[in-house]
Structure 1
Amino acid sequence: MTSFPGQRPMHGDMVQLTTDTTSVTITGSITSQGILRDGRGFVELTLPDADPQQRRDLERTTSYQYELYRSSALLYSSPRLILSEARRTKDGSLVVTGSP
């Protein structure tokens, strides 16, 4: 298990995402990556296009935590992250950005 999703992307096939009010398991092509923006470190989680309600639900939360898996093996368990952005990409993927 990795202690921080550095700038090299980690790819998984399942994520367990927990927010202030809900917990959901998402499967498919998932990427977790550390990014630097304006001198601050963030974690960017890219999820497959699934339920359109997901983005709206995530935009309403203030914090979240996730566990990224590949072939049932835990790759990364994030600390509680403060949500800074939830958006869709041009290809429809959901990108969630947060910081500790």
Structure 2
Amino acid sequence: MTFPGPRPIHGDTVHISIDTTTLVFTGTTTCQGILEAGRGYVELTLPDADPEQRRALERCKSYGWDLYRDGALLYSSPPLILSTTKRTDDGALVVKGSPS
């Protein structure tokens, strides 16, 4: 699939692959391509339910993910290098990465 554009893609489940581990987040999830200082990134906004999953994601260097809605695959990311993670005011986790 291509890199996501500026229009958000909304799903309800995301499977994130880190090394040999797959983290599954369920709940309102959004991905969106952004451009900062001439470089393309993708932001993935996740529900922040499990602190262990959040910590594993914050410690990783690279990852990839598949976004689903009602069991149908909406988007499969290319391999990404983690740029930043942050929490929003409502507790969601925002993960930003760029293609490797």
Distance in 2, Cα, partners of 1:23 & 1:8: 26
Q: How does 1:1-100 map to 2 (within 5 A)?
A: 3-100=2-99
Superposed CA deviations along residues 2-35 of structure 1, whole A, max 9, x for unmatched, are 5221100000001011112521111100000001
Distance in 2, Cα, partners of 1:16 & 1:7: 21
Task: Determine if contact 2:13/2:24 at 8 Å carries over to the other structure.
Answer: yes
Distance in 1, Cα, partners of 2:91 & 2:60: 21
Instruction: Name the Cα RMSD after superposition.
Output: 1.2
One-letter identity of the residue aligned with 2:42: V
TM-score (norm 2): 0.92
TM-score (norm 1): 0.92
Please list every run of 5 or more consecutive structure 2 residues that lacks an aligned counterpart in the other structure: none
Superposed CA deviations along residues 53-78 of structure 1, whole A, max 9, x for unmatched, are 33321121100000000111111000
Task: Determine if contact 1:68/1:77 at 8 Å carries over to the other structure.
Answer: yes
Task: Determine if contact 2:34/2:43 at 8 Å carries over to the other structure.
Answer: yes
Task: Determine if contact 2:66/2:73 at 8 Å carries over to the other structure.
Answer: yes
Name the % identity.
65
Task: Determine if contact 1:55/1:86 at 8 Å carries over to the other structure.
Answer: no
Aligned length: 99
Distance in 1, Cα, partners of 2:24 & 2:47: 12
Task: Determine if contact 2:31/2:44 at 8 Å carries over to the other structure.
Answer: yes
Please list every run of 5 or more consecutive structure 1 residues that lacks an aligned counterpart in the other structure: none
